[in-house]
């Protein structure tokens, strides 16, 4: 244990509490409760990749909806390992994880960690999850997404991280 742990722990707690009180000051107790409940009851439940090539996002299409390649971790698996494995299984592409980008919340299901990734091998092939496609970024909000996911945060991440 870090010898400064005793000093910094109360400071971190104070900062966290101050942030929570700001929600209350702004008259948004519901948002505060949603954040607290999400952290306690809905921890990370999966990991997905954002692979952008020529202003197109690698997605998996199943029937009439799209989803990001990814899935749930196997026992003992790190989230970045999950994202790379699931992307390979669902698209046929071997990817290299470059960095953690943040997370998106699935209503009532927990959060999904997003990783920036690059294709380093393999060939496009489908799976029981669906068929991989490259979807033009400007069409992302026009399509149906699994769980009726709001893709605006994903688009914002793509625009800031991939220089599109």
- In the sheet with 110-122, reading across from the earlier edge strand, the strands are 70-71, 44-50, 110-122, 93-106
Same domain, 77 and 108: yes
Same domain, 36 and 52: no
Q: Is 146 helix (H, G, I), strand (E, B) or coil?
A: helix
The pLDDT value given to residue 48: 92
Percent pLDDT > 70 in the chain is 67
pLDDT at 9 over 50: yes
Same domain, 85 and 113: yes
Residue-wise pLDDT for 25-79, tens only, equals 666 666 666 666 655 655 667 899 999 999 999 999 998 889 999 988 888 889 9
Pick from 95, 164, 94: which is nearest to 136 by CA?
164
- Domain range holding 100? 42-161
Percent pLDDT > 90 in the chain is 35
Answer whether 0.95 is exceeded by the pTM: no
Residue-wise pLDDT for 103-119, tens only, equals 887 666 678 889 999 99
What integer best gives the mean pLDDT of the chain?
79
């Amino acid at each position: 244990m870090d010898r400064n742990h005793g000093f910094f722990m109360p400071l971190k707690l104070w900062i966290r509490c101050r942030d929570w009180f700001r929600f209350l000051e702004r008259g948004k107790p519901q948002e505060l409760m949603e954040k607290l409940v999400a952290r306690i009851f809905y921890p990370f439940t999966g990991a997905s990749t954002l692979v952008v090539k020529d202003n197109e996002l690698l997605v998996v299409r199943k029937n009439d909806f799209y989803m990001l390649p990814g899935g749930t971790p196997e026992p003992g698996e790190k989230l970045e390992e999950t994202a790379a494995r699931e992307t390979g299984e669902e698209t046929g592409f071997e990817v290299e994880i470059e960095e953690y980008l943040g997370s998106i919340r699935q209503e009532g299901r927990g959060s999904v960690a997003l990783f920036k990734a690059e294709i380093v091998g393999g060939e496009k092939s489908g799976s029981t999850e669906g068929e991989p496609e490259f979807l033009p970024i400007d069409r992302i909000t026009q399509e149906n997404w699994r769980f009726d996911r709001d893709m605006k945060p994903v688009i914002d991440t793509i625009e800031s991280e991939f220089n599109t």
